[in-house]
């Protein structure tokens, strides 16, 4: 995801891995941490150093929006009664000075501290508008990670100390003004996001005991290496794992006749948009485009396709229906369907309980219709909630901020496929377990409870809703019963926005029960890839695998896909996987004619591996480290051979990133990545650059 920015996250081609506007983050922290919702969640597709561009038609629509919401008076918002009453001159000066000291000096340019004279470093005046152009000019300089963290620590401290002095309406007007005037987004998006998030932010800040700046910044800006000083950030899952048995996993199928091969279909990240309009505006300048409310395209090249679009657009309903028809018609016998989250679209400024409920119900209804006799095992994605990403502890019953509506809806709809006893934990936190057949169990997690974009972690940091403890206890009982387990979740445990502590404790559980867990399945990234887990006490021994299902949505620069797996019914090991796609360019050239689905690849055939065991895939990985051609093949599959992504290419650093991602199953743990990079270095960079299979 992209926004007009100066710095960026390393991950590419994924839904959540976006370019982050550091000047936007500073603006946010300079007023209230709520702006981070806009700047770290909003999805734009502009060039790195450009602002959003609006057509004349969109500018007219933008002006018309002033009549749709409470009028925002910038003079009132920036008055001393709101800004200056809480911030002393010394604190304001300290804030501005800290910000300037941590800005990187642009090459050949003046030092930021020299651009604004010292006597003008009164942040009250800057925010009041006297020096808006100066501060905006400064914020366009490249800002380092230290700036983000220092500004967050300082300003969240101000927020904690003085935030209660402001009324919700004061905060709303202030935030809306800053968001619009600083062109973070247009008014519709700014007002929509702020109205959706404000109640939750106020509740968390008002009710969190012992709240510190370190906790806020250590969670929200974890990936920037912000302070981890708050003792609450460090915790462990308190459970007796018992003694670990020797792993006895067998990937060699001795008697094919006596072991049935089962078929699993994984569908993930559908993100269907009820507002999608073929031939709509695919370059609208908003977080998501191709919607019927966004005007006409400027020219034929910016018109949305009938079956979806490579740009910042989700997928139309006809494409969802076609995907399910394809799955049903292409696979004679489907034993299980794993649906690993994110039904709802990316219109994050326009969500509501009512709209999200309707989208979820529509999708699950058509699943029941298409596959009336096939068990479906769903999990919650971060977009199912409203506001997006926010999952409150189940004991929060304030209806303005509670997530219980989603847990109650899930318990009601999912029990079409699940036994009644799963309701208890679904209502507790959106997770459950099912004994699918004797000897085979599924555990479905709500990984959003370990997601740094879930601001409720600030309020309840330690193993929210007791999910990880429950996971360990469930696996311990499965081990005693000689059961094999598949774990389903939305977000990969090594993802850069997975809370470090949560990821570490999860990894410990996977290591302990490696003999019981035969596979994991997740989504969230929208890419086709996999993760290898390694033993905590033997860093070179692979002991588990997680398969990512890609996405049905093409958002962004991707082809729609689903995956099928073959599973050994004797061992419950995954024998092979296939990825099925349709090419958006070809599909849209044929108008409303049915797209042609093709098998992009079979894992065993494409990579020539003996099996999909952790050991076998580790051997493949080691081969990739010295065989660029093989890694390039993996990287093509990673973006599902989307035309726009292939045109952008994947250079040496991109290839290394893709390689390291495979072994990053624990957030912030670089051991395996460093081993691979050292192997590349030992073999010689030229060797990595030139070797072709």
Extract the annotated binding site: 269, 271, 342, 382, 490, 524, 526
- Rounded CA-CA distance 57/604 in Å is 52
Cβ(393)–Cβ(456) under 8 Å? yes
Q: What angle do CA 287, 289, 290 make, to 5 degrees?
A: 165
Residue 293, exposed/middle/buried by CB under 10 A (0-12, 13-18, 19+)?
A: middle
Output Rg (C-alpha) for the chain, integer angstroms.
Answer: 25
**At residue 266, what are phi and psi to the nearest 5 degrees?**
-110, 125
Annotated binding site for Zn(2+): 269, 271, 342, 382, 490, 524, 526
**Which residue, 56, 55, 39, is CA-closest to 2?**
39
> In 90-124, which positions are buried (b, 16+ CB within 10 angstroms) versus exposed (e)?
ebbbbbbebbbebbbeeeeeeebbebbeeeebbbb
DSSP H or E segment with residue 217:
helix 213-220
3-state SS assignment for residue 671: helix
DSSP code for 447: G
- Beta bridge partners, 443, equal 433, 487
Distance CA 514, CA 244 (A): 9
Residues 37, 29 contacting (CB under 8 angstroms): no
Strand 261-267 versus strand 517-522 pairing type: unpaired
* Helical ranges in 498-651 per DSSP H: 500-512, 584-589, 603-607, 614-624, 628-638, 643-648
Residue 643, φ and ψ in degrees, nearest 5: -55, -45
CA distances from 150 to 32, 221, 242, 262 (A): 14, 11, 43, 53
Q: How far apart are CA 145 and CA 436, in angstroms?
A: 47
Residue 600 has a CB neighbour count (10 Å cut-off) of 21
What distances in angstroms separate CA 558 from CA 269, 281, 304, 603, 676, one per listed residue?
A: 12, 18, 15, 19, 27
What is the spatial distance between Cα 453 and Cα 504, in angstroms, rounded to a whole number?
A: 18
335 closest CA partner among 265, 267, 279, 270: 265
- Residue 244: count of CB within 10 angstroms of its CB: 13
Strand pairing of 440-444 and 530-534?
unpaired
C-alpha span between 353 and 388 (Å, rounded): 11
Burial of residue 482 (number of CB atoms within 10 Å: 0-12, 13-18, 19+): exposed
């Amino acid at each position: 995801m992209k926004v007009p920015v100066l710095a960026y996250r390393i991950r590419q081609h994924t839904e959540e891995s976006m370019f982050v506007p550091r000047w936007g983050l500073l603006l946010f922290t300079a007023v209230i941490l709520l702006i981070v919702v806009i700047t770290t969640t909003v999805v734009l597709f502009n060039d790195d150093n450009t602002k959003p561009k609006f057509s004349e038609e969109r500018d007219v629509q933008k002006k018309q929006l002033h009549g749709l919401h409470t009028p925002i008076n910038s003079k009132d918002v920036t008055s001393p009664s709101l800004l200056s009453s809480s911030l002393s001159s010394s604190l304001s000066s300290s804030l501005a000075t800290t910000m300037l000291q941590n800005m990187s000096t642009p090459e050949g340019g003046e030092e930021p501290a020299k651009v604004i004279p010292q006597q003008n470093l009164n942040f009250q005046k800057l925010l009041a508008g006297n020096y808006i152009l100066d501060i905006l000019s400064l914020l366009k300089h490249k800002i380092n990670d230290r700036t983000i963290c220092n500004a967050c620590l300082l300003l969240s401290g101000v927020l904690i100390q003085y935030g209660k002095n402001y009324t919700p309406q004061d905060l709303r007007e202030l935030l809306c003004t800053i968001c619009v005037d600083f062109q973070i987004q247009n008014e519709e998006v700014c007002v929509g996001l702020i109205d959706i998030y404000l109640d939750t932010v106020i509740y968390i800040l008002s009710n969190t005991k012992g709240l510190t700046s370190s906790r806020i910044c250590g969670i929200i800006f974890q990936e920037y290496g912000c302070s981890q000083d708050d003792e609450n950030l460090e915790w462990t899952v308190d459970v007796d794992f018992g003694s670990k048995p020797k792993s006895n996993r067998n990937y060699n199928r001795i008697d094919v006749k006596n072991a049935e091969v089962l078929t699993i279909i994984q569908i993930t990240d559908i993100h269907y948009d009820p507002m999608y309009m073929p031939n709509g505006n695919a370059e609208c300048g908003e977080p998501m485009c191709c919607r019927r409310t966004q005007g006409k395209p400027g020219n034929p090249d910016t018109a949305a396709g009938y079956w979806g679009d490579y740009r910042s657009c989700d997928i139309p309903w006809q494409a969802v229906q076609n995907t399910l028809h394809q799955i049903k018609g292409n696979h004679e016998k489907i034993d299980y369907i794993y649906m690993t989250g994110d039904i709802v679209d990316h219109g994050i400024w326009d969500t509501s309980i009512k709209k999200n409920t309707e989208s979820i119900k529509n999708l699950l209804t058509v699943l029941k219709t298409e596959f009336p006799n096939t068990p479906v095992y769903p999990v919650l994605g971060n977009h199912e909630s409203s506001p997006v990403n926010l999952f409150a502890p189940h004991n929060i019953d304030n209806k303005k901020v509670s997530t219980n509506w989603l847990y109650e809806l899930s318990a009601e709809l999912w029990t079409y496929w699940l036994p009644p006893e799963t309701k208890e934990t679904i209502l507790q936190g959106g997770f459950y377990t099912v004994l699918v057949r004797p000897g085979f169990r599924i555990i479905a997690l709500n990984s959003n409870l370990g997601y740094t974009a879930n601001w409720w972690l600030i309020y309840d940091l330690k193993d929210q809703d007791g999910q990880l403890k429950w996971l360990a206890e469930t696996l311990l009982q499965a081990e005693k019963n000689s059961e094999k387990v598949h774990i389903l979740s939305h977000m990969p445990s090594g993802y850069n926005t997975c809370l470090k502590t949560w990821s570490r404790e999860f990894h410990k559980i996977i290591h302990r029960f490696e003999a019981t867990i035969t596979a994991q399945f997740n989504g969230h990234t929208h890419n086709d890839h996999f993760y290898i887990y390694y033993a905590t006490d033997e860093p070179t021994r692979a002991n588990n695998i997680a398969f990512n299902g890609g996405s049905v949505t093409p958002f962004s620069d991707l082809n729609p896909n689903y995956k099928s797996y073959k599973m050994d019914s004797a061992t419950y090991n995954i024998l092979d996987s296939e990825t099925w796609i349709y090419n958006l360019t070809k599909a849209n050239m044929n108008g409303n004619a049915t797209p042609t689905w093709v098998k992009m690849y079979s894992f065993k055939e494409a990579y020539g591996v003996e099996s999909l065991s952790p050991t076998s895939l580790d051997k493949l990985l080691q081969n990739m480290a010295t065989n660029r051609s093989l890694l390039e093949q993996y990287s093509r599959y990673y973006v599902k051979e989307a035309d726009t992504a292939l045109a952008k290419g994947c250079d040496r650093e991109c290839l290394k990133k893709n390689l390291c991602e495979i072994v990053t199953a624990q957030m912030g743990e670089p051991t395996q990545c460093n081993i691979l990079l050292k192997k590349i270095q030992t073999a010689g960079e030229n060797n990595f650059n030139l070797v072709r299979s």
